[in-house]
Amino acid sequence: MNRENVSKDMGRCPNCGSLMVEYIDGEISDGNYVYTCMCRECASEWNEVHKLAFIGNFVENTQIQPSQQATEEHMTEKEKCKKFLVFNGWSMESASDEYDNYFKNGCIGVDVSDNELVLVGDYGDFLHMPINYYALIGALLEFRQISANYVSVSNNMELV
Ligand SMILES: [Zn+2]
């Protein structure tokens, strides 16, 4: 595209100097935004060329929700452990001052405190570990409470 730059006054007719400028059309061209302009006084036509500048990423739908992602990142280990248990079929059936007690039919129980995870079998507690989301998953795999041929439960369950 061959253009001659005849004026640097935005919104002003380069022929007669009038401000009665009509922006008829616009398109992206060569990395610029190019308006087609027309003067209402002298009927001249020209292109007003604007440089494009990156200013950020914006979304209008709900697929990306930075605020929710941030919330997930700031969950405590305890909250993450409890959420994992609930989403995998355990439910909180009792609680003491220190422990929330999670049960799942036919499975090992899990007691969750602020700083400890306790696995509880038919004969009582048999494994204590520091509260850690990944350690919980590892322990449940080790004791075959979640399986390598994993089948998820409903994802409509609420975090208790
Ligand atoms: Zn004009």
Identify the pLDDT of residue 36. Answer: 95
Distance 51 CA to ligand 1 centre (A): 23
State pLDDT tens for residues 24-57: 999 999 889 999 999 999 999 999 999 888 888 7
Categorize the per-residue pLDDT at 144 as very low, low, confident or very high, splitting at 50, 70 and 90. Answer: confident
pTM, to two decimals: 0.51
Distance 46 CA to ligand 1 centre (A): 10
Distance 32 CA to ligand 1 centre (A): 24
Asked if residue 135 has pLDDT above 80, the reply is yes
Distance 95 CA to ligand 1 centre (A): 80
State pLDDT tens for residues 62-104: 665 656 555 667 888 999 999 999 989 999 988 888 999 999 9
Residues 6+ apart with CB under 8 A from 20: 13, 39, 40, 41
